[in-house]
Amino acid sequence: MKLFVTGGTSFIGAYFLKAALRAGHEISALRRESSKPVIPVAESSVLRWIDGSLENVEAGQLSGHDALLHFASYGVSPQPCTWDQAFKVNVTDSIALLERALDAGIPRIILCGTCMEYGASAEKNEAILPTAPLEPIGPYAASKAAISVASSALCREKKFQLAILRLFTVYGEGQHPDNFWPSLRRAAVAGADFEMTAGEQIRDFTPVGQVAEDFLKALEIPLKAGEPLLRNVGSGHPQQLRDFARFWWDKLGATGQLRLGSIPYRPHEIMRYVPVLSE
């Protein structure tokens, strides 16, 4: 297939590029000028980089592709995020890109969503259905929920194929260094202590390589034009944060101490993010 990918240098996007190239797809990948993938992605005759932003992607650049995979996003934790910029990039610019893709004749669009769209709704259920109410907290989560709603409405109106994959807690090499797993690993390798909350949060931790494969599979899912598909992406093995930390602390041969409870929970911390996964 010929794929147009946004956010090709990002954490999820770079892993998807590697998986898609291995699978034999031809790819046009959007990147900010001079940016590089967070993990090595080999140059290939079937990988074409396009320098630019969501705003300046032209219909001619989108024409001839079989699917658009939209990974580009603003404000992913732990990076700063403002309300106006989150809604500009994640909603206004993104929906305009989708409309240009449809004008260019792309029949299938796959969006990268997040479990944070569920927000407060997540704690009202043992496990979250993809159809659970969206009750996001903060600008990033709210903007991602908004593009889910807007793109679904566009799908019903324009009758194209749409899948929204909501990711739960993804981790792996190339992740922002201030995220939990890279921070834990850095302390373990350095022989330092690691300060963390009491770790009672329940999360579904999923290796990023598995997430990339899930997006590849989404290219083959039978989709009905005009009927958006909402799907959760996770490992199916939820656990408390402290158990995840202890596993990796031992696996990495750490000599320091896990200092559970040494820092407080964040304001509005959601204590349970557990997905219902599709078979």
Q: What's the pLDDT at 43?
A: 86
Q: What's the pLDDT at 279?
A: 61
Q: What's the pLDDT at 125?
A: 87
Regions of the chain with pLDDT less than 70: 279
Asked if the peptide bond before residue 139 counts as cis, ω within 30 degrees of 0, the response is: no
Q: What's the pLDDT at 67?
A: 98
- C-beta atoms surrounding 117 within 10 Å: 27
The fold for domain 2-171+206-233 equals Rossmann fold (3.40.50)
Closest CA to 65 of 107, 3, 109: 3
The dihedrals phi and psi of 196, each to the nearest 5 degrees, come to: -155, 175
* Interatomic CA distance for residues 110 and 165, integer angstroms: 7
Can you list the alpha helix ranges (DSSP code H) found in 77-198?
83-87, 94-103, 139-158, 180-190
